[in-house]
Amino acid sequence: MREESILCYSDEIEQALLDRCQRFSKLSDEQRGESGSIYSPLTHILRLWRNGKIPQIEIFHKYKWLDPWFSFVCFLDKFDYADFEVDAWCTWLDEEMYRGDAFDRKRELLKYKYWKAMDEGAGEEVRRIYYKYLE
C-alpha cells in the first residue's frame, strides 16, 4: 500500500496499517532499522496523519514504543525525552506544536542534549536550533 494511493481512510485501510504495525513489531531492532526509517509503517502512518488522511492517531498508540520519532511527533505529551535524537530530529523544534508545554517542561534536558551534540561537532542546523530556542 502506497501513501499516495490512499484517497479516503476506511476501516479496511486502518486494519491494513494495524496489520503492518503488528508484523513490524515482530522484527528485531536491527531489522526495524533506525527511528523514522522509510521502511517503518509508523513513518507512513505519521505522514498520513500529518496530511490529514488519518483522523485519529490514538489507535496506533500501542506501537509507539517501536519508533521514538513516531512517539515524539504523534504522542508528544507521553514522549520520553531521553529518546530524543538531536541530530536526526532537530528541525522538529522549529514547529510551534513541539515547543509548547511539553517542550518547556524538558527544556534543560534538551538544552543539555543539544549542547552535547554541538560539543561533539554537530551540524549547523543543530546549532541554529540551540541558539534560537534553548540558549
- 63 in Cβ contact with 98 (< 8 Å): no
In whole angstroms, how large is the CA radius of gyration of the chain?
A: 16
Which tens digit of pLDDT belongs to each residue from 52-78?
889 889 999 999 999 988 898 888 878
How far is Cα 35 from Cα 80, in angstroms, rounded to an integer? Answer: 14
User: For the whole model, what pTM was predicted?
Assistant: 0.76
Torsion sign over Cα 52, 13, 6, 17: positive
Name the pLDDT band for 3 (thresholds 50, 70, 90). Answer: low
Per-domain boundaries in the chain: 1-76, 80-135
